[in-house]
Amino acid sequence: MNREKEIVKISMIGILVNTVLVAFKLTVGVLSRSIAIILDGVNNLTDALSSVVTIIGTKLAARTPDKKHPYGYGKIEYITSVTVAGIILLAGFAAFRESFDKMLHPEAANYSVVSLVIIAVAAAVKLIFGRYSKAAGKTYHSESLTASGTDSVMDAFISLSTLAAAVVSMAFSVSIEGILGVVIAVFILKAGIEILLESLGNIIGTRVDSRLSTELKDFICQNPAVLGAYDLFLHQYGPERLIGSVHIELPDDMTAREIHGLTRQITEEVYREFGIILTVGIYASNTVEEVFADMKKALTALVQEYPEVLQLHGFYVDTEKKLVSFDLIIDFKAENKAKIEEDMIRRMKEQYAAYEFIAILDSDVSD
């Protein structure tokens, strides 16, 4: 199924639904002099505008890679989400200002049974469409669609709150329009901030999903020649374009021909299974000399004394140079990573004076 066409189709439905709701709510709001209903209608107008932005962003993001942008245009969808968040925030600020003024200078609303029915139907429509949009957003990995669905579900509950205020007004002749409008504005602002933060996080770059990184490493390690998978880096160039790299540990007696065939095989299998373009690097593992196994055990035991060290990998001994190299992943919260590295090297040197030790500090980018 074509992802772009589905997102555009759902967004078009959103535009149609919200345009109809805007017309009904603004009419009812003006006739009943209800600021809450008017603001609810304005919020639907911003939802329709958000759907327009989503369509434009999806179309632009679907453009094929070119020489100037070899990774494609997928990240435009994140910019689209930021734009949607901006629209929601502007609507929230406007709603808050108008509602606060209404709270200071209340004016009695004049509801009718027809207006209450329209509000109830609108709430039901927004709830159904919101759930549909959220589900589609998750299916097609569209942040804009998911955000639109979340906003629609919230709008449904806001409409129900407006309905409750109308009932209170009719039953007790008490106007709570301004107070309710402020509450609605706060919810709108909250939704906008959440969408903005999530979108900016994706633009900056976030940690690889733990489930995905675990599944991917386990999949690679199913090959009997692979002794371990480490240093998984994944960069997202849009919701459906992942490019990255990984290091695999292999026996040091494998030939270049064997390594070439294995890494090609892993690259192809990962792409077929996960849709990820992965570059595969290697760590050699000493497979013959037993003394090096004992040295690795000693280093592993030493690592246990440092809670800041999350992982040891890439251990290898160059017998000709008498050089021991290994990689360490140290927690981001560790205050002095260089001191930990120096301390570990010093203690290993005390046990194995004939060897030199080199530690590479890796980043904790994936589980």
| Residue 367 forms part of a structural domain | no
Q: Encode burial over 2-26: b for 16+ CB neighbours within 10 A, e otherwise.
A: eeeebbbebbeebbebbeebbebbb
Domain span holding position 183? 3-204
- Please calculate the CA angle 323-295-348 and round it to the nearest 5 degrees: 70
Instruction: Please report how the helices 256-274 and 210-221 are oriented relative to each other, as an axis angle in degrees rounded to 10.
Output: 140
| Residue 292 forms part of a structural domain | yes
Average pLDDT over residues 293-319: 93
Q: What percent of the chain has pLDDT over 90?
A: 35
Average pLDDT over residues 259-281: 95
> Are the CB atoms for 11 and 136 separated by under 8 Å?
no
Q: Which of 177, 204, 231 is the last residue of a domain?
A: 204
Shared-domain flag, residues 179 and 227: no
pLDDT for res 284: 93
Q: Which of 44-58, 225-239, 255-269 has the highest mean pLDDT?
A: 255-269
Q: Would the pLDDT of 108 be above 70?
A: no
Shared-domain flag, residues 243 and 108: no
Shared-domain flag, residues 151 and 177: yes
| Residue 226 forms part of a structural domain | yes
| Residue 290 forms part of a structural domain | yes
Classify residue 232 as exposed, middle or buried by CB count within 10 Å of its CB (0-12, 13-18, 19+): buried
Q: Which of 130-144, 262-276, 280-294 has the highest mean pLDDT?
A: 262-276
Classify residue 244 as exposed, middle or buried by CB count within 10 Å of its CB (0-12, 13-18, 19+): buried
Q: How confident is residue 233, by pLDDT bands cut at 50, 70 and 90?
A: very high
Shared-domain flag, residues 77 and 160: yes
Q: How confident is residue 322, by pLDDT bands cut at 50, 70 and 90?
A: very high
Shared-domain flag, residues 304 and 157: no
Q: Would the pLDDT of 171 be above 70?
A: yes
Shared-domain flag, residues 200 and 244: no
Number of domains in the chain: 2
Classify residue 73 as exposed, middle or buried by CB count within 10 Å of its CB (0-12, 13-18, 19+): buried
| Residue 81 forms part of a structural domain | yes
**Per-residue pLDDT tens digits for 194-205:** 888 988 888 888
Shared-domain flag, residues 32 and 125: yes
For residue 41, give the CATH number of its domain.
1.20.1510
Q: Which of 170, 204, 238 is the last residue of a domain?
A: 204
Average pLDDT over residues 286-304: 86
pLDDT for res 150: 76
What is the rounded distance in angstroms from the CA atom of residue 237 to the CA atom of residue 203?
9
Q: Would the pLDDT of 317 be above 90?
A: yes
* Helices and strands of the chain, counted as H and E runs: 10, 6
224 C-beta neighbours (distance < 10 Å), count: 6
Average pLDDT over residues 8-19: 89
Shared-domain flag, residues 214 and 200: no
Query: E strands within 168-252?
Result: 228-236, 242-251
Bigger pLDDT: 158 or 190?
Answer: 190
Closest by CA position to 215, among listed 231, 227, 235, 229: 229
β-pairing, 356-362 vs 323-330, is: parallel
Q: Would the pLDDT of 100 be above 90?
A: no
Average pLDDT over residues 138-162: 78
Per DSSP, what are the bridge partners of residue 309? 330
Instruction: Please report how the helices 177-204 and 35-61 are oriented relative to each other, as an axis angle in degrees rounded to 10.
Output: 20
Sheet with 323-330, edge to edge strand ranges: 309-318, 323-330, 356-362
Average pLDDT over residues 246-253: 94
Structure tokens at 240: 């459906």
Shared-domain flag, residues 229 and 168: no
Full-model pTM: 0.74
Shared-domain flag, residues 198 and 225: no
Structure tokens at 162: 């407006």
Q: Would the pLDDT of 248 be above 70?
A: yes
For residue 339, give the CATH number of its domain.
3.30.70.1350
**Per-residue pLDDT tens digits for 14-31:** 899 888 888 887 887 787
Structure tokens at 1: 């199924």
Q: Which of 204, 233, 257 is the last residue of a domain?
A: 204
Q: What is the mean pLDDT of the chain?
A: 86
pLDDT for res 109: 61
SS3 state of residue 248: strand
Shared-domain flag, residues 180 and 249: no
